[in-house]
Amino acid sequence: MVRVQYQYPGDPVETADLMFGAEFKRFVRNGEPGFVRVINEDREDEISFSEVICDACNAEVLPQDPCAATADRLYCWSCAKEWVLAHLLHEQGVQVLIVKAR
Protein backbone atom coordinates (compact mmCIF):
# COMPACT_ATOMS: atom_id res chain seq x y z
CA MET A 1 0.00 0.00 0.00
CA VAL A 2 1.31 3.45 -0.94
CA ARG A 3 -0.15 6.73 0.35
CA VAL A 4 -0.14 9.63 -2.13
CA GLN A 5 -1.47 13.17 -2.16
CA TYR A 6 -3.42 14.71 -5.02
CA GLN A 7 -5.22 17.96 -5.63
CA TYR A 8 -7.90 19.14 -8.02
CA PRO A 9 -7.42 22.77 -9.15
CA GLY A 10 -8.81 25.11 -6.50
CA ASP A 11 -9.52 22.31 -3.99
CA PRO A 12 -7.62 21.32 -0.84
CA VAL A 13 -5.00 18.56 -0.93
CA GLU A 14 -6.49 15.06 -0.59
CA THR A 15 -4.93 11.71 0.32
CA ALA A 16 -5.38 8.37 -1.43
CA ASP A 17 -4.04 4.90 -0.73
CA LEU A 18 -2.93 2.89 -3.75
CA MET A 19 -3.45 -0.81 -3.06
CA PHE A 20 -4.83 -4.06 -4.41
CA GLY A 21 -8.40 -5.31 -4.02
CA ALA A 22 -7.30 -7.88 -1.43
CA GLU A 23 -5.70 -5.14 0.69
CA PHE A 24 -8.89 -3.09 0.50
CA LYS A 25 -10.91 -6.02 1.82
CA ARG A 26 -8.42 -6.73 4.59
CA PHE A 27 -7.46 -3.25 5.80
CA VAL A 28 -10.40 -1.00 4.90
CA ARG A 29 -13.27 -3.42 5.44
CA ASN A 30 -11.42 -5.39 8.14
CA GLY A 31 -12.45 -8.64 6.43
CA GLU A 32 -16.15 -7.79 6.78
CA PRO A 33 -18.60 -7.53 3.89
CA GLY A 34 -19.65 -4.12 2.62
CA PHE A 35 -23.24 -2.94 2.82
CA VAL A 36 -25.60 -0.46 1.27
CA ARG A 37 -28.82 0.90 2.74
CA VAL A 38 -31.84 1.05 0.48
CA ILE A 39 -34.64 3.29 1.69
CA ASN A 40 -38.09 2.68 0.26
CA GLU A 41 -41.21 4.66 1.04
CA ASP A 42 -42.13 2.61 4.09
CA ARG A 43 -38.99 0.68 5.08
CA GLU A 44 -35.21 0.60 5.10
CA ASP A 45 -33.26 -2.47 3.94
CA GLU A 46 -29.58 -3.22 4.35
CA ILE A 47 -27.93 -5.28 1.61
CA SER A 48 -24.51 -6.79 2.29
CA PHE A 49 -22.01 -7.78 -0.39
CA SER A 50 -18.49 -9.22 -0.50
CA GLU A 51 -17.43 -7.77 -3.85
CA VAL A 52 -15.19 -4.71 -4.10
CA ILE A 53 -16.85 -2.26 -6.51
CA CYS A 54 -15.52 0.94 -8.09
CA ASP A 55 -17.56 3.95 -6.99
CA ALA A 56 -17.05 5.69 -10.35
CA CYS A 57 -17.89 2.99 -12.93
CA ASN A 58 -19.29 0.07 -10.86
CA ALA A 59 -16.60 -2.34 -12.13
CA GLU A 60 -15.62 -5.15 -9.79
CA VAL A 61 -12.11 -4.84 -8.36
CA LEU A 62 -10.70 -8.37 -8.01
CA PRO A 63 -8.23 -9.23 -5.23
CA GLN A 64 -5.25 -8.99 -7.59
CA ASP A 65 -6.40 -5.71 -9.23
CA PRO A 66 -4.79 -2.39 -8.28
CA CYS A 67 -7.11 0.36 -7.00
CA ALA A 68 -7.11 3.68 -5.15
CA ALA A 69 -9.03 4.39 -1.95
CA THR A 70 -9.74 7.98 -0.94
CA ALA A 71 -11.49 9.17 2.21
CA ASP A 72 -14.89 8.28 0.81
CA ARG A 73 -14.47 6.53 -2.57
CA LEU A 74 -12.83 3.49 -4.11
CA TYR A 75 -11.59 3.66 -7.71
CA CYS A 76 -10.63 0.78 -10.00
CA TRP A 77 -7.28 1.37 -11.70
CA SER A 78 -8.82 2.77 -14.89
CA CYS A 79 -10.82 5.35 -12.95
CA ALA A 80 -7.94 6.03 -10.53
CA LYS A 81 -5.83 7.15 -13.49
CA GLU A 82 -8.40 9.85 -14.27
CA TRP A 83 -9.58 10.85 -10.78
CA VAL A 84 -6.43 10.45 -8.64
CA LEU A 85 -3.21 9.76 -10.54
CA ALA A 86 -3.73 12.58 -13.04
CA HIS A 87 -3.79 15.01 -10.09
CA LEU A 88 -0.81 13.77 -8.05
CA LEU A 89 1.28 16.48 -6.47
CA HIS A 90 4.50 16.47 -8.48
CA GLU A 91 6.75 17.47 -5.60
CA GLN A 92 6.19 14.04 -4.07
CA GLY A 93 8.52 12.51 -6.61
CA VAL A 94 6.34 9.41 -6.72
CA GLN A 95 6.56 7.04 -9.62
CA VAL A 96 3.76 4.50 -9.65
CA LEU A 97 4.64 1.07 -10.98
CA ILE A 98 2.11 -1.69 -10.48
CA VAL A 99 2.91 -5.21 -11.52
CA LYS A 100 -0.31 -7.17 -11.88
CA ALA A 101 -0.23 -10.73 -10.62
CA ARG A 102 -1.10 -13.34 -13.22
66-92: per-residue pLDDT in tens? 999 999 999 999 999 999 999 998 655
pLDDT at 91: 54
**CB proximity list for 36: less than 8 A, separation 6 or greater:** 46, 47, 49
| pTM of the complete model | 0.77
Low-confidence ranges of the chain (pLDDT < 70): 90-102
pLDDT at 57: 97
